[in-house]
Amino acid sequence: MYRTHTCGELRIENVNETVTLSGWVQKARDLGGMTFVDLRDRYGITQFVFNMETNAELCEQARKLGREFVVAITGKVAERESKNSKMSTGDVEIIAEKLEVLSKSALPPFTIEDDTDGGDELRMKYRYLDLRRSCVRENLVMRHKMGIEVRNYLDQLNFIETETPVLIKSTPEGARDFIVPSRMNPGEFYALPQSPQVFKQLLMISGFDRYYQIVKCFRDEDLRADRQPEFTQIDCEMAFVEQDDILNTFEGLTKNLFKKLKNVDIDYDFPRMDYATAMEKYGSDKPDIRFGMEFVDLSVIAKGNDFKVFDEAEYIGAVCAEGCASYTRKQLDKLTDFVKRPQIGAKGLVYVKYNEDGSFKSSVDKFYSAEDLQKWSEACNAKPGDLILILVGDKKSTLSQLCELRLEMGTQLGLRDNNVFKPMWVVDFPLLEWDEDSQRYHAMHHPFTSPKAEDFHMLETEPGKVRANAYDLVINGVEIGGGSIRIHDTDLQAQMFKHLGFTDEEAKAQFGFLMDAFQYGAPPHGGIAFGFDRLASLFAGIESIRDVIAFPKNNSGRDVMIDSPSTIADEQMVELGLDYRKE
């Protein structure tokens, strides 16, 4: 037997018991005639004592132990003289009687401590060692608990977890598919699912009524910090529901997760904001509402003073940063540089300081009087001591730039605390969005999303104005989930495909089976999908989803630990009827 207890288990009650523990040597140190060994496993750390006087041979053995050696040690539990209240096992130590080295360790390439000396790349290459660090492992334990809690909650509500296939069919709509050549059907390919969308709708047509699945999905996209080629979704669908049913059900799930995983009670209804308002007030369909600083539209009141930049702008937008009138020239220049960064793209930044003494100082004093600025500050609800920041230009770009500026100010003012959670629903998304590249409308959500009944008459005449029964769950400025009420009518679905520029043949080739299925009695239905990785990183209080994935890939889609992707044997290519393209 390798152990009688784990390294996190022994307490003062166990004194005088003879125990065996197994684990990794966290550290060993000699002190006088003694050697102290801290033994670590997933459950904790326990201190062992080897005494040169009473057992020289054993103590000599202990002195040969290196960090990360795997050992089994037997001994008697004793009360510690100097207790360590920081460790759960800190009241006791074990007087070692027997030591067995189960496995030696080379010197690890970085220290196995929460505060490690290993850089990102090294830790990814030796991810199995990085995972030994308790701060990393705890994130994955939390992720595990998240899965358990999601399942228990949905199980109680009669949802059936149903596995849908991973080897499916490639469709050109949406992001790029990963494809899998079929050996048994040469020249043909499976695709990996970007989501189980079609299958969950089929399950509703099958009468499954309530479906969910925690499921891997795949997108062959260029990667960013919060994207991975494979990611996990909580995928859900319900029949005989309207939008409110979905929102209420999954608001319940979300509150339950906050309670169970963070011990946070959210005892109010999540605010619901329509897309248009979110764009107008926050320049984003995923506003961070941990703080206010909503946009103020100065387009009307700030024009007409011969300041060309303002007079010619489609939109003049402001945010009011509380207590920032004291910002220095240097700080303001830094903010200007921030908004002028290519990825943000503003041409410049106008500021108005509403000084504590009631006076104004702005970068446009040449054009505007104190009375003008007073009006602006009233529009912005500014108080003495506040700083008004203004961006101008075409409305769409300016809203988006102002969003970045607002978030930056929120960060600078410490208003984006990772331990504060502000969930909300964004609703009434547009059904379609115009794509400049292909010069046609694309489904904003996906082609199965239903238009709002009251907007339906505009589908022919003003397609861009039609709103959808679509919604996102946004927490702290992160899109955690999104979904829609689906079309459940063949004719309407056919009409949608037409609007999205599909020919009848294309629609039939790609979604024929779904259109067929609609003919046999489809219930009204809708659903939602949560980003499991994003939700986990939110709960873990970290930015990147990589840290809540056991074996993530880097920005080039590589797993640097296993060195994948890699070349394959020629015979594999032959079997699949494939060749490398010569060009």
Distance of closest approach, residue 8 Cβ to its own copies, in angstroms: 11
Instruction: Quickly tell me which residue has 């339950």 as its tokens.
Output: 256
Considering only residues 284 through 343, tell me which ones interact with its own copies, judged by CB under 8 A: none
Stretch binding its own copies (CB under 8 A), from 44-52, 121-129, 274-282, 363-371: 121-129
The set of residues, in sequence order, having a beta carbon less than 8 Å from that of 333 and lying 6+ positions away, is: none
Distance of closest approach, residue 473 Cβ to its own copies, in angstroms: 22
Q: Which of 11, 98, 121, 240 binds its own copies (CB under 8 A)?
A: 240
Q: Does residue 63 have a known ligand-binding role? A: no
The nearer residue to its own copies, 68 or 294, going by C-beta atoms, is: 68
The token duo for 340 is 């002028």
Q: Does residue 221 have a known ligand-binding role? A: yes
Stretch binding its own copies (CB under 8 A), from 127-135, 246-254, 376-384, 385-393: 127-135
Instruction: Quickly tell me which residue has 């300016």 as its tokens.
Output: 398
Q: Which of 27, 80, 216, 452 binds its own copies (CB under 8 A)?
A: 216
Q: What is the CA radius of gyration of the chain?
A: 30
The set of residues, in sequence order, having a beta carbon less than 8 Å from that of 359 and lying 6+ positions away, is: 370
Stretch binding its own copies (CB under 8 A), from 124-132, 258-266, 388-396, 465-473: 124-132
Determine if 110 is a binding residue for its own copies (CB under 8 A): no
Determine if 377 is a binding residue for its own copies (CB under 8 A): no
Distance of closest approach, residue 73 Cβ to its own copies, in angstroms: 12
Considering only residues 516 through 545, tell me which ones interact with its own copies, judged by CB under 8 A: 516-524
Strand-strand pairing, 423-427 and 272-274: parallel
Distance of closest approach, residue 269 Cβ to its own copies, in angstroms: 19
Distance of closest approach, residue 555 Cβ to its own copies, in angstroms: 9
At position 134, the amino acid (one-letter code) is S
Q: Does residue 414 have a known ligand-binding role? A: no
Determine if 491 is a binding residue for its own copies (CB under 8 A): no
The nearer residue to its own copies, 434 or 513, going by C-beta atoms, is: 513
The nearer residue to its own copies, 414 or 521, going by C-beta atoms, is: 521
The nearer residue to its own copies, 228 or 449, going by C-beta atoms, is: 228
Q: Does residue 173 have a known ligand-binding role? A: yes
Q: Does residue 245 have a known ligand-binding role? A: no
Number of C-alpha atoms within 13 angstroms, CB side, residue 425? 23
Stretch binding its own copies (CB under 8 A), from 179-187, 257-265, 410-418, 440-448: 179-187
Distance of closest approach, residue 200 Cβ to its own copies, in angstroms: 10
Q: How far apart are CA 359 and CA 356, in angstroms?
A: 7
The nearer residue to its own copies, 137 or 303, going by C-beta atoms, is: 137
Q: In what order do the strands lie in the sheet with 296-297?
A: 296-297, 315-321, 387-393, 350-354, 360-362
Determine if 415 is a binding residue for its own copies (CB under 8 A): no
Contact assessment for residue 319 and residue 406, using Cβ atoms and an 8 Å cutoff: yes
Contact assessment for residue 146 and residue 261, using Cβ atoms and an 8 Å cutoff: yes
Q: Which residues, listed in sequence order, are joined to residue 531 by a DSSP beta bridge?
A: 233
Number of C-alpha atoms within 13 angstroms, CB side, residue 390? 23
Q: Which residues, listed in sequence order, are joined to residue 40 by a DSSP beta bridge?
A: 24, 45
Q: What φ, ψ does residue 471 adopt, rounded to 5°?
A: -155, 150
Distance from chain centroid for Cα 407: 17
Cβ burial 321-340 (10 Å sphere, 16+ → b, else e) = bbebbebeeeebeebbebbe
The nearer residue to its own copies, 47 or 510, going by C-beta atoms, is: 510
3-state secondary structure (DSSP) of residue 564? strand
Q: Which of 174, 181, 345, 385 binds its own copies (CB under 8 A)?
A: 181
Considering only residues 8 through 47, tell me which ones interact with its own copies, judged by CB under 8 A: 22-24, 40-43
Determine if 272 is a binding residue for its own copies (CB under 8 A): no
Determine if 402 is a binding residue for its own copies (CB under 8 A): no
Sign of the Cα torsion 260, 263, 267, 271 reads negative
Q: Which of 51, 55, 111, 206 binds its own copies (CB under 8 A)?
A: 206
Q: Which of 11, 83, 104, 457 binds its own copies (CB under 8 A)?
A: 104
The nearer residue to its own copies, 152 or 369, going by C-beta atoms, is: 152
Q: Which of 74, 84, 111, 170 binds its own copies (CB under 8 A)?
A: 170
The set of residues, in sequence order, having a beta carbon less than 8 Å from that of 258 and lying 6+ positions away, is: 264, 265, 266, 421
Q: Which of 31, 81, 106, 328 binds its own copies (CB under 8 A)?
A: 106
Q: DSSP readout, 266-335? A: --SPPPEEEHHHHHHHHSSSS--TTS----EE-TTTT-SSS-HHHHT-SEEEEEEETT-TT--HHHHHHH
Q: Which of 220, 251, 297, 479 binds its own copies (CB under 8 A)?
A: 220
Distance of closest approach, residue 80 Cβ to its own copies, in angstroms: 24
Stretch binding its own copies (CB under 8 A), from 188-196, 334-342, 392-400, 469-477: 188-196
Strand-strand pairing, 70-79 and 18-31: antiparallel
Considering only residues 460 through 489, tell me which ones interact with its own copies, judged by CB under 8 A: 488-489
Residue 505: Cβ-neighbour burial (10 angstroms; 0-12, 13-18, 19+): exposed
Determine if 229 is a binding residue for its own copies (CB under 8 A): yes
Determine if 453 is a binding residue for its own copies (CB under 8 A): no
Q: Could you tell me the CA-to-CA distances from 131 to 141, 261, 273, 544 in Å, in that order? A: 11, 21, 40, 16
Q: Does residue 534 have a known ligand-binding role? A: yes
Distance of closest approach, residue 85 Cβ to its own copies, in angstroms: 24
The token duo for 503 is 């020919």
The set of residues, in sequence order, having a beta carbon less than 8 Å from that of 152 and lying 6+ positions away, is: none
Q: Does residue 421 have a known ligand-binding role? A: no
Q: Does residue 228 have a known ligand-binding role? A: yes
The nearer residue to its own copies, 220 or 251, going by C-beta atoms, is: 220
Q: Does residue 486 have a known ligand-binding role? A: yes
Considering only residues 58 through 87, tell me which ones interact with its own copies, judged by CB under 8 A: 68-70, 72
Q: Which of 122, 147, 307, 478 binds its own copies (CB under 8 A)?
A: 147
Q: Binding-site residues for L-aspartate, please?
A: 173, 219, 445, 486
Binding residues: 173, 219-221, 228, 445, 479, 486, 531-534
